[in-house]
Amino acid sequence: MLGLGIESSCDDTGIAIVDGEHRVLVSEVASQIDCHRVFGGVVPEIAAREHLQILLPLYKKTLEKASISIENIDYIAVTAGPGLVGSLLVGVSFAKGLALATGKPLIPVDHVHGHVHSVFLDVSWREEDRFPALALVVSGGHTNLYWMRTPLDFTLLASTIDDACGESFDKVAKMVGLEYPGGAKIESWAKRGNPKTYPMPVMMKDRSQLQFSYSGLKTHVVYLLQRLQQTHGTRLPDEVIADVCASFQEEALGQLIRKTQLAVGKYPGAKSLLVAGGVAASTRLRERLAQEISIPAFFPSRANCMDNAAMIACYGGALFRNQGVEAFGALDWDVYSRYRPQMGQGA
Ligand code: KG4
Ligand code: ZN
Q: What domains can be seen in the chain, in order of their start residue?
A: 2-117+304-326 (3.30.420.40), 132-300 (3.30.420.40)
CA-proximal residue: ligand 1, atom 14 (nearest):
183
Task: Compute the distance between CA of residue 156 and CA of residue 80 in angstroms, rounded to an integer.
Answer: 18
For a pocket test of ligand 1, which of 138, 169, 275, 299 has the largest count of ligand atoms closer than 8 A to its C-beta? 169
For 183-216, the pLDDT digits (tens) are 999 999 999 999 999 999 999 888 789 999 999 9
How far is the centre of ligand 1, averaged over its atoms, from the C-alpha of 144 (Å)?
14
How far is the centre of ligand 2, averaged over its atoms, from the C-alpha of 196 (Å)?
31
> Which residues, in sequence order, are bridge partners of residue 17?
4, 26
23-38 average pLDDT score: 92
CB-defined site of ligand 1, < 6 Å: 10, 139-141, 166-167, 169-170, 181-184, 187, 277-279, 281-282, 306-307
Cβ-based burial of 175 (10 A; exposed 0-12, middle 13-18, buried ≥19): middle
CA-proximal residue: ligand 1, atom 9 (nearest):
278
How far is the centre of ligand 2, averaged over its atoms, from the C-alpha of 141 (Å)?
7
Asked if 77 and 109 touch (Cβ cutoff 8 Å), the reply is yes
Q: How far is CA 149 from CA 3, 123, 133, 146, 295, in A?
A: 25, 19, 6, 10, 16
Q: What share of the chain is helix, strand, coil (3-state, %, to 5)?
A: 50, 20, 35
In the DSSP assignment, the letter for residue 197 is S
Give the lowest-confidence range in 11-15, 41-45, 264-268. Answer: 41-45
Asked if 237 and 225 touch (Cβ cutoff 8 Å), the reply is no
Q: Structure pTM?
A: 0.94
How far is the centre of ligand 2, averaged over its atoms, from the C-alpha of 234 (Å)?
34
Residue 347: pLDDT over 70: no
What does the mean pLDDT of the chain come to? 93
Give residues with Cβ within 8 angstroms of 253, minimum separation 6: 282, 284, 285, 288
* 164 Cα nearest atom in ligand 1: 12
How far is the centre of ligand 2, averaged over its atoms, from the C-alpha of 182 (Å)?
15
For 62-78, the pLDDT digits (tens) are 999 999 999 999 999 99
Confidence of residue 128 (pLDDT cuts 50, 70, 90): confident
> What ligand is nearest to the CA atom of residue 166?
1
How far is the centre of ligand 1, averaged over its atoms, from the C-alpha of 116 (Å)?
15
CA-proximal residue: ligand 1, atom 13 (nearest):
183
Orientation of helix 85-102 relative to helix 44-66, angle to 10°:
30
CA-proximal residue: ligand 1, atom 11 (nearest):
140
* 111 Cα nearest atom in ligand 1: 6
* 83 Cα nearest atom in ligand 1: 6
Q: Coil, strand or helix: which one is 269? A: coil
Residue 162: pLDDT over 70: yes
Confidence of residue 299 (pLDDT cuts 50, 70, 90): very high
